[in-house]
Amino acid sequence: MGNSLIDNLMKKAQAKENHLADQQQKHQEDNERLLEERDIDHLLEGLSEKQRAVLMMRYAVNGTAPLEPEDLTRDGILPLAKVGQELGITGPAVRDAEVQGLEKVRKKVSSAAAMDEISRG
């Protein structure tokens, strides 16, 4: 009888420990997701509304694209036509907004990398 009591206590302690570990993992994942969202928001600052919407939808940033598997290309991005349909603009307008938006993001990333390199000395 004493053994089963100890076994029950051990099982309860293990279950509580597992629950706490799960909560800690979830908290860490939530924090990482928030950091990613802040980084993405920072990168998309300075883009026009159309450029921002196109990039977020095309690359499914923060779940902004209707992610039906059949809607995605092999690369996992939303096709130009689908983005255009969702935003009410043409495929070429989507492509233009994408190219211009990506160029602005690349410049921002390059500039940040250069500043980081300079600060390292």
**Dist CA 84 CA 80 (whole Å):** 6
Give me the tens of pLDDT residue by residue for the chain, a chain 121 residues long: 557 878 878 887 888 788 777 777 775 665 555 557 778 888 889 999 999 999 988 887 776 656 666 777 888 788 899 899 989 999 999 999 999 999 998 888 887 766 666 766 6
d(CA 48, CA 99): 12
Domain ranges, ordered by start, for the chain = 1-44, 48-121
Confidence (pTM):
0.62
CATH of range 48-121; options 1.10.620, 3.40.50, 1.10.10, 3.90.350: 1.10.10
